Amino acid sequence: MNIRIKQQLEMALLWEGGIDRTQLAYRCGTSVRSIQRFMNELARQDDGRIKYNAKTRRYQLEAELGKASISEDPELYLRYCRGEKMLQPLLQEEFENRFPVEDIEDLVTSTLDDHVVNTLIDAINGRKQIRCTYESTKGERADILLSPHTIVYARRRYHVRAYHHTKGLYGDFVLGRFLSICIASGEGEGYSSIHDLDWHQHINLNFLLNPELDDHEKRRSILEWNLSINQNTIKRRVRRALTRYVRIEMTTPPTSSKHPTWIIG
């Protein structure tokens, strides 16, 4: 059974009130005839939970889906919709409106230099070294040799995780601070992530609901974070290399308060 079709069908059944054959074919990049064959096969295996509504010409869910091939977490569905929205400019096409979700991230994120991004993609895909001029947070410029292995998006900007050949350690470099960049080695000659211990080690970060919040702020935080009434701690499992970003994000006060919602527990 085609897993792609099954996933798209289940998504539509769970959160979109059903789907017709033409819509399903479009989403899966296949023909309506292929969808009909799939649905015929599914009907032989299904116990009546999925029904075809002749009036609406849509397949709809008549009972609980049972064992699904996708997560039934609705928040993950919203993330999926956001992802589809972000893909539209890349694919240069307007997707069918699955569910109305808007994301302002692109409106508040700095743009990147195409040459920098393309060079880093080439280096990471081919495990190559790069030579670059980079400006540090303190405004110091240096010509350095790096072996990048992963792009990281944190704090509304892109970083690259890379091995610094002069310092002999791994670090993070903001893409917007590369003043010049070029490939400096052949394929396979760069350092991979295998020796980046902080990247591969995961740790638990514990956060405590800030006791300095007033009663209104505490109630609001409990609602917004979907906490139980007596819950005042949360735990996040993260890569050790990314703990700094998570701590900053979690302990930065929201715009509506002078106090951070969470403090390090």
The CA-based angle 35-38-40, given to 5 degrees, is 110
67 is a domain residue: no
Tell me, yes or no, whether 221 and 157 share the same domain: no
How many domains does one find in the chain? Answer: 4
Round to whole Å and give the CA distance between 179 and 224: 41
Round to whole Å and give the CA distance between 121 and 127: 10
239 is in which domain, residue-wise? 201-264
69 is a domain residue: no
Tell me, yes or no, whether 130 and 192 share the same domain: yes
Tell me, yes or no, whether 163 and 128 share the same domain: yes
Q: Which amino acid is at 29?
A: G
Tell me, yes or no, whether 30 and 50 share the same domain: yes
Tell me, yes or no, whether 189 and 121 share the same domain: yes
Residue 92: which pLDDT band, with cuts at 50, 70 and 90?
Answer: confident
Tell me, yes or no, whether 141 and 214 share the same domain: no
Tell me, yes or no, whether 173 and 222 share the same domain: no
Cα 116 vs. chain centroid, distance in angstroms?
Answer: 22
Residue 95: which pLDDT band, with cuts at 50, 70 and 90?
Answer: low
- The answer, yes or no, to whether residue 125 has pLDDT greater than 70, is yes
Q: Are the C-beta atoms of 59 and 51 separated by less than 8 Å? A: yes
| CA proximity to 138, closest of 177, 86, 191 | 177
Tell me, yes or no, whether 56 and 127 share the same domain: no
Q: What is the CATH number of the domain that holds 10?
A: 1.10.10
Q: Residue 47: its pLDDT value, please?
A: 67
Q: Residue 63: its pLDDT value, please?
A: 77
Each residue's pLDDT tens digit, 154-171: 999 999 999 999 999 999
Tell me, yes or no, whether 163 and 233 share the same domain: no
Each residue's pLDDT tens digit, 174-191: 999 999 999 999 999 999
97 is a domain residue: yes
68 is a domain residue: no
Token code pair at residue 150: 């992963």
